[in-house]
Homo-oligomer: A and B are copies of this chain.
Amino acid sequence: MEIKTVKKGQDYLGYLFIKSQMTKTATNGNRYFNMVLNDVNFDEIEGKKWDVKPGDEDLFTNGKLVKIKGKVQEFNNRLQLIVEKMRIIDESDDVSVDDYVETVPVGIEEMMGFVNDTIDDFTNDDIRTITNRIFNDKTENLVYFPAAKKHHHAIKGGLLYHLYTMLRIGKSLAGIYPFINKDLLYAGIILHDIGKVNEMVSDENGAVSDYTPEGKLLGHITQEIVELEIVGRELGTDAECIMLLKHMILSHHYQPEFGSPKRPMFPEAELLHHIDMIDARMFTMEKALDRVEPGKFTEQNWSLDGISLYRRSFE
């Protein structure tokens, strides 16, 4: 039963994924669930379950796939699913939770391999060693981490996919501008956002519920710079290499009001910023244009500073 076709007043029976669940207490003391549920097409509907029993909230947590029987109602002009029955799927159900989690178009292993091959090719030993170490320390997280809470690449594996695509761009630009140091550029790409693993709290499906306290107080740029120094000292990395990598992290948002107190001061740092922007924008634009007909404009998109995109009417 597809979310995009349900109507007010209709009975619902089908599998849904609990994208987020919050247990609330009504003023009469009863507890209920507020949920965001999605089907296999990633279409979403708000779900309510009244009179939650003790233990339910430990069972029906974010990231569970459930079978639901309920009724569709309208509230404040939006459809809502009032859950009558709900159970966790078991072996008897012929569904896989993986089909219900939006993810990236390239396999995790392929991307991991690509990044690791890139690192292995570095000619500068210091840069290779430290990049390898920090990247591989994060492997477990990179399997599912998104690149952002809301904006670009906010899906499972989005952070790794962002690094992977940026590396592909970096490699073509390095061919066009041979005075660039490839190791620096590629290391900067691989490490620039990796501090997000410590800035945000993501579940295994790439849904970010919040930022960490340190993430709020310092931010991933500062967090990653500190990590570079810690690991660099441990590995005995050349001081200039560490310094340049720290600068690339520090400056990659380009403008103070976006979090970079220093502007890029060498070409690899400059390129890193532009490659980051290109990939974030292309990802967001492709997704937004998918939801609109040729010859039409999208809604204002707040990940694009409020721009409405136009989808051309020809191929």
Number of identical monomers bound together in the oligomeric complex: 6
Whether A169 pairs with B173 at a CB distance below 8 angstroms is: yes
Whether B240 pairs with A267 at a CB distance below 8 angstroms is: no
Q: A27-B7, A29-B7 are in contact. Are A312 and B184 (CB under 8 A)?
A: yes
| A22 part of interface (Cβ distance < 8 Å) | no
| A305 part of interface (Cβ distance < 8 Å) | yes
Whether B261 pairs with A261 at a CB distance below 8 angstroms is: yes
In the assembled complex, the Cα of A263 lies from the Cα of B217 at a distance in Å of 9
**Closest Cβ–Cβ distance, residue A283 to chain B (whole Å):** 9
In the assembled complex, the Cα of A312 lies from the Cα of B7 at a distance in Å of 49
Whether B217 pairs with A309 at a CB distance below 8 angstroms is: no
| A243 part of interface (Cβ distance < 8 Å) | yes
When distances are taken between beta carbons in the complex, the residues of chain B under 8 Å from A266 are: 285, 289, 309-312
Q: A79-B27, A173-B169 are in contact. Are A267 and B247 (CB under 8 A)?
A: no
In the complex formed, the residue of B with least CB distance to A229 is B226
Q: Which of B26, B217, B261 is in CB contact (< 8 Å) with A222?
A: B261
| A113 part of interface (Cβ distance < 8 Å) | no
Most B CB within 10 A of own CB, among A257, A263, A310: A310
Whether A218 pairs with B240 at a CB distance below 8 angstroms is: no
In the assembled complex, the Cα of A265 lies from the Cα of B265 at a distance in Å of 30
| A179 part of interface (Cβ distance < 8 Å) | yes
- Segment from A35-43, A60-68, A201-209, A270-278 that makes contact with B: A270-278
In the complex formed, the residue of B with least CB distance to A180 is B282
- A219-240 CB contacts (< 8 Å) to partner B: 219, 221-222, 225-226, 229-230, 233, 238, 240
| A54 part of interface (Cβ distance < 8 Å) | no
- A256-311 CB contacts (< 8 Å) to partner B: 256-267, 270-271, 274, 277-278, 281-282, 285-286, 289, 295, 297, 305, 307-311
Whether A221 pairs with B261 at a CB distance below 8 angstroms is: yes
When distances are taken between beta carbons in the complex, the residues of chain B under 8 Å from A184 are: 312
In the assembled complex, the Cα of A277 lies from the Cα of B208 at a distance in Å of 33
In the assembled complex, the Cα of A278 lies from the Cα of B307 at a distance in Å of 23
Q: Which of B222, B243, B282, B307 is in CB contact (< 8 Å) with A265?
A: B307
Q: A244-B217, A244-B312, A267-B282 are in contact. Are A27 and B261 (CB under 8 A)?
A: no
When distances are taken between beta carbons in the complex, the residues of chain B under 8 Å from A150 are: none
> When A and B form their complex, which 7 residue pairs have the shortest distance between CB atoms, in order from nearest?
A8-B27, A172-B172, A256-B256, A7-B27, A217-B247, A259-B261, A226-B229
Chain A residues near B (Cβ < 8 Å): 6-10, 26-29, 72, 74, 79, 124, 165, 168-169, 172-173, 175-177, 179-181, 184, 213-214, 216-219, 221-222, 225-226, 229-230, 233, 238, 240-241, 243-244, 246-247, 250, 256-267, 270-271, 274, 277-278, 281-282, 285-286, 289, 295, 297, 305, 307-315
What are 9 A-B pairs at a CB distance below 8 A? A168-B176, A173-B278, A179-B286, A217-B247, A219-B262, A225-B225, A256-B256, A266-B310, A267-B286
